[in-house]
Amino acid sequence: MGPPLISRVDSSRRDAAVATLTMASAADPVLRWVFPEPEAFLRLFPRFVMAFAGASFERGAADRADETAAVALWLPPGLSSDEDAMVALFDEARGDDGKADRQAVMDQMDAVHPHETHWYLPLIGVEPMALGRGLGSALLQHRTSQLDRDGLPAYLEATTARNRDLYALHGFEVLRVIQAGASPQMWAMLRRPRPTTR
């Protein structure tokens, strides 16, 4: 079997991509801290995907591997998340429970987020049945190779130690641990472009 085929998520596969990210995130400690109830998670998470990273679809920065078994949504320079919509979804999911901690986490995320020109990876996920096949690494390699050619850094927040270690293998370095109150830890990570031979 050859390397995974990486392609753009077009409009006909957008719903499938969101479904993949929903399945991939169902046990994520940070996202389930924000959306702890199963019913609310399944109902609200697709809207969260669009608020957090939906702009990537229009900009051709949504990548998929093996049909849509794995998906990465990138925000190129100049695009950002809809934070107001995200906060509204968090409040719908949990009300005032943990609100101060959620705000503190978002403040920490804002404080460490780079101001220089960069690409941001809000969401990447692999369907549980497709784990262990290298699809996440293939998606990371696909986009970071482009960024190396363009001489641009990449930034993300890792939500598990396992993911943190995977990102480190692809050149991301921890800038800061993000955590407040009862929240799980996240790791803010930056990847500087690597020299390429043209």
Cα radius of gyration (the chain): 16
Alpha helices in the chain (DSSP H): 14-24, 29-34, 38-53, 55-58, 83-94, 99-112, 135-150, 161-169
Whether residue 136 is contained in a domain is answered as: yes
Whether residue 111 is contained in a domain is answered as: yes
Chain centroid to CA 87: how far? 17
Domain hosting 101: range is 6-191
pLDDT of residue 172: 98
CATH value at residue 134: 3.40.630.30
Whether residue 197 is contained in a domain is answered as: no
Stretch 108-120: mean pLDDT = 96
Q: What is the pLDDT of residues 57-80, one digit of tens each?
A: 999 999 999 889 999 999 999 999
Q: How many domains does the chain have?
A: 1
Whether residue 1 is contained in a domain is answered as: no
Which residue would you say has higher pLDDT here, 140 or 95? 140
Give pTM, 2 decimals: 0.95
Whether residue 142 is contained in a domain is answered as: yes
For the chain, the farthest-separated pair of C-alpha atoms sits apart, in whole angstroms, at 53
Per-residue pLDDT at 198 exceeds 80: no
